[in-house]
Amino acid sequence: PAAIAAIKVLLEVIQKSPATTIMGLQIELQTAADSLKEHQTEGISVASGCELFMRFVTRTALENAEYEECKKRILSRGEFFRDHSTRARAKIAELGSPFLRDGHIVLTTGFSRVVLNLLLHAAMHMKRLFEVVVADSQPGGPGLQLAQRLVEAGIPVTVIDESAVAVAMERADMALVGAEGVVENGGVISKIGTYQMAIVCQASRKPFYIAVESFKFVRQYPLNQRDIVAFDGLARRLSVDAAKPAASKAKGIEMEYERRTRDYTPPKYITLLFTDLGVLTPSAVSDELIKLYY
């Protein structure tokens, strides 16, 4: 995953840094982090991972007068952060899999490695017998990749079109999805279609669970869908003329095609979040953010 890769890059910057002062090392780290965030296409997960890493490793920067001793401590904290982040999925799988019961039908969307690990752990280690319904927005899309991995593990899977989520919810027992970012109020920014699935879950009185690593907790507070456009790096608008040359303007009005890749799900639609910090309610996220950042 991109966030883990970014953390490893920052750790390497510390190891190879020619800086001779703490300030110089911090500047190098910040420059590298800014570069990673500028060129990333993974939504906000890289940005939040870099920011958390920077805060975690530099908390003790002024506790040692000697530079070399301080650098060793920063490096040690960086390695701890990397190892903790790498183990996050296994921890989430252990905490979340007990919520799956024999005979359950789990609805999900897209391809989330955290969700995949949780489902595989429930099936292979806890011997749960369940089915999975995967909503995919396009043939051969990421949802199909998830379905193939589950089938290889012997888990029954049905792939549906994303527009059929409301129909599939009738027979589902729960929805379980991943997220790219968890914001301050406990809501999540994730793959487009997550929000509508959450709404359908609430209308059907079915639990809606999020499986996400703590390094994706981000200090943002969106109020609506417009507030996350800045995070939606792949969002674009195409005029009909550009997409289809034969099309022409009618009565001076130009039709546009807008493609969004992410949406924001408010906390009121989320039942629980399975994280490496524990099983959290959306209201508990702000407390965990304070612990992480301060």
Question: What is the chain's mean pLDDT, rounded?
Answer: 84
Over residues 105-130, mean pLDDT: 95
**Model confidence over 235-255: pLDDT tens digits?**
455 555 555 555 555 566 677
Whole-number pLDDT of residue 218? 86
CA angle 49, 195, 209 (to 5 degrees): 70
Over residues 87-106, mean pLDDT: 95
Over residues 150-160, mean pLDDT: 96
- Among 9-13, 109-113, 218-222, top mean pLDDT goes to 109-113
Over 50: is that where the pLDDT of 277 sits? yes
Strands 188-191, 181-182: pairing is antiparallel
**Model confidence over 176-219: pLDDT tens digits?**
999 989 999 999 999 889 999 999 999 999 999 999 998 889 88
Decide: 67 and 52 in contact? Cβ < 8 Å: no
pTM for the predicted model, two decimal places:
0.81
Q: Edge-to-edge, what's the strand order for the sheet holding 262-265? A: 181-182, 188-191, 262-265
Enumerate residues 6+ apart whose C-beta is below 8 A from 47: 37, 40, 218
Whole-number pLDDT of residue 1? 64
Whole-number pLDDT of residue 113? 92
Over 90: is that where the pLDDT of 104 sits? yes
**Model confidence over 121-139: pLDDT tens digits?**
999 999 999 999 999 877 6
Strand partners, 160: 135
58-65, long-range: CB < 8 A, 24+ apart = 58/26, 58/29, 61/22, 61/26, 62/22
**Model confidence over 22-79: pLDDT tens digits?**
788 888 888 888 887 775 555 577 777 777 777 777 666 556 667 777 777 777 877 8
Whole-number pLDDT of residue 142? 86
CA angle 277, 43, 273 (to 5 degrees): 25
Whole-number pLDDT of residue 62? 54
Whole-number pLDDT of residue 234? 47
Question: Would you state the structure tokens that stand for residue 63, as one six-digit string?
Answer: 């506790």
Whole-number pLDDT of residue 118? 97
Whole-number pLDDT of residue 107? 97
